[in-house]
Amino acid sequence: MKQWYEELFENYAMKYDNEVYVHGTIGECDFFEKEIGYNKSARILDIGCGTGRHSIELAKRGYNVVGIDQSESLLKRAKEKTSEQKVQVDFQKQDARDLPFLHEFNLVIMICEGAFSLMETDEMNFQILKNAANALLPKGKLVSVHPFSSN
């Protein structure tokens, strides 16, 4: 049985790229670049990458990016977009609560509903944060922004 968050994104791929909150992608990626000192050898993990808007923009800028998501339909659209735009991103179907990465990335990003905050329990959300931290190299950075959270 699929969880509600899996069903939510199942048929959402084409609509996602037209949502109002995706229009800040360029500025967000400018911020990410600044945070890693424009180091083109940096490895970046995009948790909850969706249709790849950040992953693809960062790859266009010359970064090595791994994008993970649980939604096969969103990943399918992300792969279509990389093909259309002729960029390389390693998109993988992964559950952020159970990641295989350990000390591999200079930057981990979780933007909008990037896995974190979608889970039913604080324990699940904590596990996602723990996995994101474990994926970072020493002195790596985690950037997590959730525009729908209340003040």
Q: What is the CATH number of the domain that holds 75?
A: 3.40.50.150
Q: How many domains are contained in the chain?
A: 1
In a domain, 23, yes or no: no
Residue 113 maps to a domain: yes
10 Å CB burial of residue 12 (0-12, 13-18, 19+) is middle
Task: Kindly give the confidence (pLDDT) of every residue in the chain, 151 residues in length, as a single tens digit, with 9 standing for 90 and above.
Answer: 555 455 555 555 555 565 555 567 899 999 999 999 999 999 999 999 989 999 999 999 999 999 999 888 889 999 999 999 999 999 999 999 899 999 999 999 998 655 545 556 778 888 889 999 999 999 999 998 755 444 3
- Structural domain contains residue 140: yes
User: Please, are residues 90 and 81 in contact by the beta-carbon 8 Å criterion?
Assistant: no
Angle at Cα 52 formed by Cα 83 and Cα 93, nearest 5°? 95
Instruction: Residue 65: give the domain boundaries.
Output: 40-145
